[in-house]
Structure formats: C-alpha cells, structure tokens
Structure 1
Amino acid sequence: MDGTLSPVKARRFPTLRAITALLLREMATTYGRSPGGYAWAVLEPVAALAVLSVAFSIAFASPALGSNFPLFYATGYLPFMMYSQLSAKIGQAIRFSKPLLFYPAATYSDALFARWILGVLTHLSIFVIVLTGIVQIFGLTPILNIPALVNAVAMAALLALGVGTLNCFLSSMFPVWEQVWVIVNRPFFIISGVFFLFENMPEPVRALLWFNPLAHVIGEMRRAVYASYDGAFVSPVYVYSVALGSLILGLVFLNRYHRVILNER
C-alpha cells in the first residue's frame, strides 16, 4: 500500500463535495464575508412588514384574520418572499456558476441544488427570527399547527425549485425570457393572498385565484398559525404537482441543452 487514494475512493461523493463547494461560494458572494449581508436578509422582510402593518392599520381597524397586523402580513409575505427570491436565485444558477461548470466535478444540477439549499436554510432562519420576534414583541400566544407549518414551507421551497429550474433553462436559452418573467410574475404579489383571505374574494375571482399555487402556500401558512382558520381550499397535491412538473420539465430540458448553454458566450 503506497497510501495513495484509489480512483474509486477519490471519486466518492463527488456531487456532495461539488454542492458543498458551490454552497460555500454562494455564501461568500451572496452575503459577503461579514454578518451585514445576513443581517440585511432579516431586516428586509422586517422593514416590509412594518410598512405594510402601518399602512393598513391606518385604513382598517383590524386585519382580515386575527387582530395583529404584523403577524397577518408575515404569514403571507414570508412564504411569498421565500418562493420569489429562491426561484429567482435558482433561475440564475447556471449563469452565476458557469465558469465552474466546465470542470467535470461540477454539474448544472449541483449549481441548482447548492443555491436551493442555501436559500432554504436562509429563509428558514428568517421565518424563525421574524415570527418569534413578532410573537415576543406583541405578547402573542399562537397555537401552531406544526405539520401545516412544515407543509407550507415545503410547498414554497419545492415550488421555488421547480419554477426556478424551468426558468433557468428558459432564461439561459432565451435571454428575453428573464424580462418577460419579471412582468408576468409581478402581479402575483397582489393576487396570492398576502393582503387578503382567499375566502373573502367574490366567487368569479376566487375560482381563478385557486389556480395560483402561491395562494395555497399562503393559505397553508395561515392555517398553521391561526387555529381558527380552516383553509379548506388549500390543495397540497396541486402545489406539489405544479412544482414537480416544473422541476422535471426543467431538468429534462437542461439535461438536453446544458452543453449548448455552457458553450454560449
């Protein structure tokens, strides 16, 4: 035995090593080498929730559910932000890591999952910090439905992965798609239920809003936080179907065209 690693041992867990390396690179470039980057990741939703709470508390005596404006808007804004920011990050994964993807040790799927894992961990931390802060500051005693809470986060995370993966292919092959998607995606902040309850919408509108998977994600999140909220319209099967369908379609196209994308200048 000369002490050298065999080719089999040297190649053991290459995907895990590649994802870890890409994840560490993401942490350094996205949030910087100081705590300030992570602090802003928390301060951004806090500032948005403060503005929403103050603005709507002037116009309305109470939110559509419960009596606390910050908690109501947090249960809508936080899952929406998780989906929106995470899907956008994944959509740019190949472009961001393109120089590294020419090495055989790293693949396009490594780049996608590295961004997804870091984003999920970051947003989970934001969820805990913001919701705990609201509960402590306002002296609230919510009875959390933990299975529904886990399901809401899982739906938001998987939907972001699916949509982001499909958009990664589309924006890489057709650069104009990135601008088109920004325009198409913009109204979802208004129509996903961040500001209102799905049940409060009139029937013709409600029937159309049901097909928005984000409305189900936010409905599940509110069902997890508000014990009195039923959220009967929520269909996890529909959300997971959209998420997995988008993910499979995106991976199929990326597997077929990733070399074309990487060789473009």
Structure 2
Amino acid sequence: MNHSKPSLLDIQLQVLGALMLRDIRTRFGRTIWGNAVVVLWPTAHVMVLVAMMSVRSMPAPIGESLVLFIFTGMAPMIVFIYLSRKMMEGVIMNRPLLSFPDVKFFDICLSRAIAEVLNLAASVAITMLILVAIGVDPIPERPATAISALCGAFLVALGIGFMNANIVVFFPPYNIGYALVIIILYGLSGVFFVPDGMPQELYQAFLWNPMTNAIMWFRSAYYPGYGEDASPLYVLMSGGLLLLVGLIWEKTLTKRAL
C-alpha cells in the first residue's frame, strides 16, 4: 500500500485544528456549557454596558435609541478587545507547545485568532437577537457597510494581536498592563459618544485612532449621513501595517528569542 507523505498544508491544518481544539477544552472545560460561556461572555459584556448606560436615562447622541447607539459602538470594540487580547493569552497558554517541531509561534496566534472570530461572530449574532427580544431593531440599513466595518476592526485587532503576542514573549507583565490600554481605548474611541461633537482640534486628534474610524464606519451603516469623516482606507491600512510589523517582528526577533 502506498502511503503518501502529508503535505505542508496538511500538517499546517492539522496543527491549527489541534491547537483550536486544545484551546476550547482548556479554557472552560470539555462540556457544551463551558463552550457556551466562551460565546456568551462577550455578549454579557455588551449587555451589561448597555444596561448601565440605559439606567442613567441619557438621550441618544444619534437616533432615538440609546441601546442601539451603545451597541453600534460596542460591536466593533468587542471584536477588537477580545481578539487582540486573546491572541496574546494564547501565546502565554501554549508556549510550552513550541517545543514540538511542527508547532510554530504563527500557528498559535492564527489558531487563537480563528477561534475568537468564530466566537465573536456568534456573540454578535446572539446580542442582536437579544436586542430584537427587547424591542430594538439591530438590523443596519446598509448591511454590507456594517460587515465591512467589522472586518476592518478585525484586521486592526489582528495586527495589534500579533504585536501583543510578540511583546508578551519579551515582557510577560504586559499581559496585565494591556488592561489599562483597553480602558484608555474605551475612552478615546467614541464608544459612548460621538467624536465629531467635540472641538475640532480634539476631533482631528481622535481620527488618528483606527478604532474611532472603525466605529464611525460601523455606525454609518445604521445612521444615514453619519460618519462622513471616517476613513475605511485608514482602518484597513493601519491594520495591514500593524500586521506586517508584527509578522516581521516574529520572523526577526521573536523566533530567535524562542
């Protein structure tokens, strides 16, 4: 019987599948309830913040629904926060596996990214179903724009995730310090307010933040005429550049350090 040698692609796919399965089993156990927690955790994150803002009875800066306004800010930010952080945590958890010849640093980052994208897609869908249940219509007027904006947020998160994964190899305490970065980004990205309502000089400074542009881009799918200053090209170029820097860093410095 002729046994052909597995191709590099076959080995790559097997490694990614094994890493994803290991992450699923180690993070919240082997039961279906544990996997449900992984998906529902970001949903709970969004809904708690929506509830906190709604209790304050603040008027919506745009449109008539404060809940919808918060959701349109949180959806891209949740994608960014969880993906960029979980890729870093994946390297911390799976670093011992790098002793196996077929497991590479890139495989660990990519497997965690794929797993998180699937989880986040489910989380956003569940959040939208919950909004429907409470009487809020979460369907955008321009679905293609909303999906494109989420993809842009994903690309920025992927780039930052690779950067974080490299940093934590050289400086492990950064894993804890990144929580402060997330808090700052909450305040500077326009999740709970509209940046264009600020003084012009400050507004222009906010536009240097790719996530501010991503959130405005996403909201433009819901609010016609809003987000004209947002630059989808800037979001994509920023994410692509961060990803390129992260990959070069991995090939030149991190690979040697490991």
The number of aligned residues is 258
Are the counterparts in 1 of residues 61 and 193 from structure 2 also a CA contact under 8 Å? yes
Deviation at 1:54, TM superposition (A): 4.2
Distance across 1 between alignment mates of 2:109 and 2:84: 10
In structure 1, C-alpha distance between the alignment counterparts of 2:207 and 2:9, rounded to whole Å: 46
Q: Distance in 2 between matches of 1:70 and 1:47?
A: 14
The answer as to whether partners of 1:145 and 1:227 remain within 8 angstroms in 2 is no
Q: Residue by residue, what CA displacement relative to the aligned partner does 1:156-199 show, whole Å, maximum 9, x if unpaired? A: 11111101101211221133444444334421111211101122
Residue identity opposite 2:109 in structure 1 = L
Aligned CA distance change for structure 1 residues 99 and 48 (closer, same or farther; 3 Å): closer
Cα 1:110–1:78 change in 2 (3 A) is: same
Bigger drift between 182-191 and 79-88 goes to: 182-191
Contact 1:219 1:231 (8 Å CA) reproduced: yes
TM-score for the superposition, normalised by structure 2: 0.89
What TM-score do the two structures reach when normalised by structure 1?
A: 0.87
Q: Relative to structure 1, is the Cα distance of residues 139 and 91 closer, same or farther in structure 2, using a 3 angstrom cutoff?
A: closer
Residue 228 of structure 1 is matched in structure 2 by 224
CA RMSD, 1 decimal: 2.3
| Residue correspondence of structure 1 range 246-265 to structure 2 within 5 A | 246-262=242-258
Matched, 1:146 2:116: no
The runs of 4+ residues in structure 1 deviating greater than 6 Å are: none
Native 8 Å contact 1:94 1:168 kept in 2: yes
Q: 1:142 to 1:257 in 2, by over 3 A?
A: closer
The alignment status of 1:103 with 2:100, answered yes or no, reads: yes
Q: 1:35 to 1:201 in 2, by over 3 A?
A: farther
Q: Report deviation, 1:60.
A: 4.2
Question: Structure 1: which 5+ runs fail to align?
Answer: none
Indicate the larger mover: 191-200 or 51-60.
51-60
Partner Cα distance (1:12, 1:61) in 2: 53
Instruction: Give the corresponding residue for 1:190.
Output: 187
Q: CA deviation at 1:139?
A: 5.1
**Distance (whole Å) between structure 2 residues aligned to residue 58 and residue 183 of structure 1:** 26
- Letter of the 1:115 counterpart: R
CA displacement at 1:70 relative to structure 2: 2.1
TM-aligned CA deviation for residue 121 of structure 1: 0.8
**Aligned ranges 1:101-180 → 2 under 5 Å:** 101-138=98-135, 140=137, 142-180=139-177
One-letter amino acid of the structure 2 residue matched with residue 110 of structure 1? D
Percent identity of the aligned residues? 28
Whether the 8 Å CA contact 2:63–2:223 is kept in 1: the answer is: no
Is 1:245 paired with 2:238? no
In structure 2, the residue matched to 1:79 is 76
Structure 1, residues 221-242: CA drift from partner, whole Å, max 9, x if none? 2112x24242111111111121
Counterpart CA distance in 2 for 1:88 and 1:203 is: 32
Distance 1:97 1:54 in 2: 36
Larger Rg: 1
Supply the AA of the counterpart residue of 1:98.
R
Equivalent residue in structure 2 for 1:201, among 177, 195, 198: 198
Distance 2:134 2:22 in 1: 36
